[in-house]
Structure 1
């Protein structure tokens, strides 16, 4: 089994080392980057004195683990294709396509497997600049997510929203840009600013659009997070929806809507993803037979597990394949 490449990135140091408009390739930042990424462009561009842009349009040749330091920075991430895992402390989140995530995480570690194809953008902006330059009104942000914009030391909370059709179009325009420099820099910088404007507009509309909804209600958010933790803990025998709503004190509609608000998927899809990811981790370990892995995540036999695994990952379960 191949070990993941260990990569480290400090966004604040990266920003201070670049001039406005300057682009640095990943091969200048990470050792053996060309062995890890296959891309037309993989690097980081300084949009202005306070903002960095990373365009994700690459294939992962070798699995890697990227530790990111993001002190006092608001990170806007929009993924239109591909998925990977992100660790925030002891919590693991799966980053799925067509989701917009806004965070102020001081430190995270992202694990991406060989064979993944990622398309999207990551915009990193000074927290204070994001508020002042784009006119973010904190009072119009749901209370549960205000610490993202108010905490100088960061928070582990992440605001997840469905990526709108307009957002998908803007990301695609950046990813598919074919201009040569300097036009490329001008174009992608303008689109990054457009995305930031769109994000602030969405943040201002959350309370009006969703006042009675789960996303602005702290107690219900905690209940959904508890439900998610139950799914992660009880991998082999996940509760039914009826059992889960009784355990966390929500009704069925609140539970389903809450999972879509916070994670972008249904409760069933969230539980299924955790089971498949846990299965893949056990296969990578190489110590268990496939039938034993299937048993440990709640499948009665190899056939049903193999069908589910293939439907999720596009390949049959194999210790060799999982570790490549």
Structure 2
């Protein structure tokens, strides 16, 4: 099994190191990486003083992890086909095809499996430039996502929108561009601005969260696997089913039916099973109180945790070698 390669890129440093219209291939950014990015194109182009374009049209020859430093930068991801996992702090989301993903967080990490083919692009734009030059009306954006555009620190929340027919066409034009330089750079610059205009126009319309219009069975399976991993990693603060579905690019019915097929359980039952198993493991380790174990798996106090634990295992929670702490209270 191939060992995961690890790379890193600082978008601010990359932006300042490139001239307007200049392109740098990934092998110059990361060193020897041709065996990782089997690509028609994989690199970064400075569109103007405030904007970078990253075209993705490649197959991952090896699994890799890419750490992105992106302070005070709005990242707009449009994937036509393929998917990958993105980490923002301890939170992991699936980045699916056919959706716009708009985010602003100082650090993110992208994990891509070997053999994964990705077609799409990433536009990185100065947050203030997006406000000033494109006259983005933040009041039209749902309140939880406004820090993407108003805060230097951003937010771990990612705004997902349908990838419009216009947007799909523009991405396809960029991916299919046959021009040589300097016409290529001029063409890509114009199309990048068109995409930004389309995104801002879409942000100005009433927003609705959305799922991809078409998703293959393989992509659904990957999304369910990602959702299950999210549950296992975030037991202390479980996302709602609606939020989990949004994070992996499915609707509620697809998520629920997918869990039933894969695990024979509803998403809630699956999460609850792992909650209780994690709690039992921590109790057996004996390194923290029962109330602390309860908090670690998402309960506010002992009583509610004890009821759930008894319902699952048929007996009250107890530390390893000890008796149930029935006197602990919420």
Per-residue CA deviations over 1:239-280 (Å, capped at 9, x if unaligned) read xxxxx9xx96xxxxxx66x666665312354468789999xx
What value does the CA root-mean-square deviation take over the aligned residues?
A: 3.1
Say whether residues 1:8 and 2:1 are aligned partners: no
- SS of the residue corresponding to residue 20 of structure 2 reads coil
Q: 1:29 to 1:137 in 2, by over 3 A?
A: same
Deviation at 1:25, TM superposition (A): 0.8
Structure 2 match to 1:91 = 91
Distance 1:61 1:229 in 2: 25
- SS of the residue corresponding to residue 57 of structure 2 reads strand
- Normalised to the residue count of structure 2, the TM-score between the two structures is 0.68
Contact 1:20 1:46 (C-alpha < 8 Å) held by counterparts: yes
Distance 1:173 1:109 in 2: 28
Structure 1 match to 2:284 = none
Distance 1:276 1:24 in 2: 45
Distance 2:68 2:261 in 1: 26
Structure 2 match to 1:199 = 199
Q: 1:231 to 1:56 in 2, by over 3 A?
A: closer
Contact 2:79 2:100 (C-alpha < 8 Å) held by counterparts: yes
Which residues in structure 2 correspond to 1:1-324 (within 5 Å)?
A: 1-207=1-207, 210=208, 232-233=230-231, 263-270=248-255
When you count helix as a share of all residues, which structure comes out higher? 1
- Normalised to the residue count of structure 1, the TM-score between the two structures is 0.69
Which of these two proteins has the greater Rg computed from alpha carbons? 2
- Runs of 4 or more, structure 1, over 2 Å off, are 228-235, 258-264, 267-278
- SS of the residue corresponding to residue 156 of structure 2 reads coil
Distance 1:136 1:42 in 2: 29
Distance 2:118 2:262 in 1: 18
Q: 1:147 to 1:180 in 2, by over 3 A?
A: same
Distance 1:123 1:273 in 2: 32
Deviation at 1:89, TM superposition (A): 0.8
**Which stretch shows the higher mean deviation, 122-131 or 259-268?**
259-268
Equivalent pairs, count:
246
Deviation at 1:232, TM superposition (A): 3.6
Deviation at 1:162, TM superposition (A): 1.6
Deviation at 1:166, TM superposition (A): 1.3
**Which stretch shows the higher mean deviation, 259-268 or 42-51?**
259-268
Per-residue CA deviations over 1:278-321 (Å, capped at 9, x if unaligned) read 9xxxxxxxxxxxxxxxxx9xxxxxxxxxxxxxxxxxxxxxxxxx
- SS of the residue corresponding to residue 6 of structure 2 reads strand
Distance 2:51 2:164 in 1: 22
Deviation at 1:102, TM superposition (A): 0.6
Per-residue CA deviations over 1:175-234 (Å, capped at 9, x if unaligned) read 111111111111111111000001111111025xx5xx89xxxxxxxxxxxxx9888436
Unaligned runs of 5+ in 2: 211-225, 264-273, 275-330
Distance 2:88 2:258 in 1: 18
